[in-house]
Amino acid sequence: MKNPAFALFQKDDPIIEAYKKIRTNLIFMNLDSDVKSIVITSPSPGEGKSTTAYNLAAVLVQAGNRTVLVDADLRKPMMHKFFNVPNQPGLTNLLTENLDINEVMRDIILPGGASLKIITGGTIISNPSELLGSEAMFEFMGKMEKTSDIVIFDTPPALTVTDASIISGMANGTILVVERGKTSMESLRVTIDILNSVKSNILGTVLNKSSRKKLKRYYRYSTHKA
Task: Please give the average per-residue pLDDT across 1-29, as a whole number.
Answer: 68
Residue 170 clears pLDDT 50, i.e. is over it: yes
Integer-rounded Cα Rg, in Å, for the chain is 16
Q: Residue 171 belongs to a domain with what CATH number?
A: 3.40.50.300
Q: What is the mean pLDDT of residues 185-194?
A: 95
pLDDT of residue 224: 47
For residue 3, is it within any domain? no
Count of the separate structural domains present in the chain: 1
Percent of the chain with pLDDT over 90: 61
Asked whether residue 105 is domain-assigned, the answer is: yes
Among 25, 49, 46, residue whose Cα is nearest residue 150? 25
* Mean pLDDT, residues 136-145 taken together: 94
Please report which confidence band the pLDDT of residue 111 belongs to, taking 50, 70 and 90 as the band edges.
Answer: confident
**Average pLDDT for 171-177:** 94
Average pLDDT, integer, range 81-101: 93
End-to-end distance of the chain based on CA atoms, in angstroms?
37
Closest CA to 96 of 71, 68, 77, 124: 124
In a domain, 44, yes or no: yes
Average pLDDT estimate for 35-42: 94
Domain with 198, as residue range(s), is 14-223
More confident residue, 13 or 68: 68
DSSP labels, 23-88: HHHHHHHHHHS---EEEEE-SSTTSSHHHHHHHHHHHHHHTT--EEEEE---SS--HHHHHT----
Residue 7 lies in a domain: no
- Whether residue 6 is contained in a domain is answered as no
